[in-house]
Structure 1
Amino acid sequence: MATKVPHPTRDAHLLTLLGQLGATTRYKGTDHPDVAEIRQQLKAAKAQEYLRSLIADAPPLTPRQIQDLRALLAPRNVGSIGGSDVA
């Protein structure tokens, strides 16, 4: 049976959140507000990790592409990705 090797680029924060989620779920149950909060933090951490790896592997961006990404990730637009608010 093959041993699963941890992903080499996973940062300590993401691994800490995964551990906290497991422990909190075990001791407080899946419906506890602390579990929901950790899941939200984990979701954000995974998105950040994905974006970091995507940017690291991408060719250099043009100034226009950088501007478009900044606008997309601005706090007022985060909830409307894919909606009409995104230019």
Structure 2
Amino acid sequence: MAEDTIVFPDLSLMEQIDALLPALGFPASTEVEVEPALDYPGQQLAIDIYAPTDGELHTAVEAIRDALFLKFRIATRTSSELDREILAKQSA
């Protein structure tokens, strides 16, 4: 199973985002969970996404990012993007 997490710094939107996600119509095989972001400093909210394939994961991540931007004007990053940024800063 493929997985990734979208993180951003606004915990106050947790309930609204939790209500928004079902409207995106993901397949039953794709799971999405909204929770406080405990593993990423400076980030308050995490959207965990689990899908059976990398392609379905990519589709879900992009759909969620687009919906968050359209509804709340929030630009988001995934945990894998944050990890790459941290590694790049450490090796610079």
The TM-score normalised by the length of structure 1 is: 0.32
Richer in strand (by share): 2
Richer in helix (by share): 1
For the pair shown, the structure with the greater C-alpha radius of gyration is 1
Q: Which has the higher contact order (CA 8 A, sep 6+)?
A: 2
